Every structure is written in C-alpha cells, then in structure tokens.
Amino acid sequence: MSDVTVQRQGRVLEITLSRGKVNAIDAATSRALGAAFEQLQMDDDLSVGIITAGGEKFFSAGWDLKAAAEGEAPDENMGVGGFAGLTEYWGLTKPVIAAVNGMALGGGFELILSADMVVAAEHATFGLTEAKIGLVPDSGGMIRLPRRVPRAIAMEMIMTGRHVDAAELERWGLVNQVVPADQLMQAARDLAERVCRCAPLSLQAAKEIYAATEDLNEQEAFVRMRAGDLRAYGQIYDSEDAKEGMNALFEKRDPIWKGR
C-alpha cells in the first residue's frame, strides 16, 4: 500500500498519509505528497483538497527521525512543495483543508499550518517539539505560527514544546471546527462542499490576493492587488463563471461553474 493515497470526490481531492504507526514524513513521502498537491493544482476539475492521515492516534509525528539518523539530510530533495509537499508550495492556488485525526507534532503541525482551513477531532493535539531535540521548526512553524496566534502563545509553544489541544487552537482561531473523531471526515467534506459551491476562479483569486498582501498595510495591499499581475484575480471579471454567477442569481438557480 502506498504511503500517500488520493481519492476524488467530485471537485474534491482527498489526500491521505498512511505511513507506519506515527505517519512520519521522509523525503520520499514528501515527494509523494507534493505530487498529490500538484495533481490538485493542475486538474481544472478539482476545486479543493483535503489532507488527512490514517489511524486514530497520529496525524503525523513530523520529520522521520529514523531516516535522518540513517543519513537523510534536511536539504534532501523533498520535491514540489518542499517538506510534506505543501509547506513551500508557493504556486498552489487552490484551497486545502486539513482534517486532523490525532497528534500533529513538529513537521506534522507545520503541514497543518500550511493549509487554509482546519477541522480537528476532539482528541487531536498539536505541538512544535523541535527545540527539545536541538532543532527549530524551520518548515514553516517559526514563521507561520506567530502569524496565526498571539506571539506570546506561539513563542511559548516553540520554546517549550508544549502540546495544545484542538479546543485551545479553536479559541485562538487557528482551527475552524472541532468535532468528535467519528465525525471528522464528514465535517471536512461538508466544509469542502461549501467551498465547491463557489466559483473556482474566485477561490483561486482569493488565495492569490491573500498570499500577495498578507504582510502589507491596507494601502499597500490595495496597490499590490490592483497592480495587474495577479493571474486569477485578473481573469474573474471577464470570466464565463462571473456571467454565469450573475445569471444564476437573477434566475434563482444554482450556478454551473466551468472554471473559466
């Protein structure tokens, strides 16, 4: 059985990591995850991805330390998207939902921080534990966590390795929804379905604009957005889908999106 499997559900691509007891991620697994996210990006019939993991205890323990001990270097070829296939996939314009089924530690948590939305099982826990083994979370944890939660909370997590539960991260706004474990995938699929009801180009433009402006003040962000070089944003107003959306609104029916 492959460590990474993909399954299409309409316009949704479900990506599942299943590798041993703790779903640790080595370079080969990163490349496989990257290929799955590349499939999401390149297929015009897909609007959103869900990343989840097999088992009930671990979402992912992060970097495969056994592989590292055997000589796999941190700068090993991780493939498109960098570590875990998503942490440095700057060109991905489609939204990703993380469905967290258990413990997400180190690089496993960094994979989740790379997603756009997060649904978590009630028993899920999260932690950046790298400092406890003499490292730092440099696959996004150092950069993304302080931007997602208050700085003091982020630095405490990074500098103590403290595990936090899903309910706490929901309070901080990092997790969208916490559900019983047996409802996790249905909740993620329901969220994905709501996303799919919106125009594909609008979804891509929203992610594109956010990525281009998140570190700018309001005036700078407007200038950047209007600069004319954001591909998806530049297409939406003259798109077939924009016309279809207006027509569907006036005709009181559901739109039929074409992604163009």
Residue 257 lies in a domain: no
Residues 60, 124 within the same domain: yes
Residue 135 lies in a domain: yes
Considering the domain boundaries, does residue 260 fall inside one?
no
Domain final residue, candidates 149, 174, 196: 196
User: Is 110 an annotated catalytic residue?
Assistant: yes
Token pair for 1: 């059985």
- Is residue 247 in a domain? yes
pLDDT in tens, 41-99: 999 999 999 999 999 899 999 988 787 777 776 667 889 999 999 999 999 999 999 99
**Residue 148: which of 103, 113, 107, 118 has the closest Cα?**
113
| Total domains present in the chain | 2
User: Which residues, in sequence order, are bridge partners of residue 165?
Assistant: 125
Q: 130 with 83, same domain?
A: yes
Contact 17, 50 (CB under 8 A): no
Same domain, 137 and 16: yes
Write phi, then psi, for 105 (nearest 5 degrees). -120, 150
Catalytic residue among 110, 156, 193, 251: 110
22 near 60, Cβ under 8 Å? yes
Secondary structure of 58-80 in HEC code, one letter for each residue: EEECCECHHHHHCCCCCCCCCCC
Report field, pTM of the whole predicted structure over 0.85 = yes
Quick one: 166 and 240 in the same domain? no
Which is catalytic among the residues 70, 72, 76, 130?
A: 130
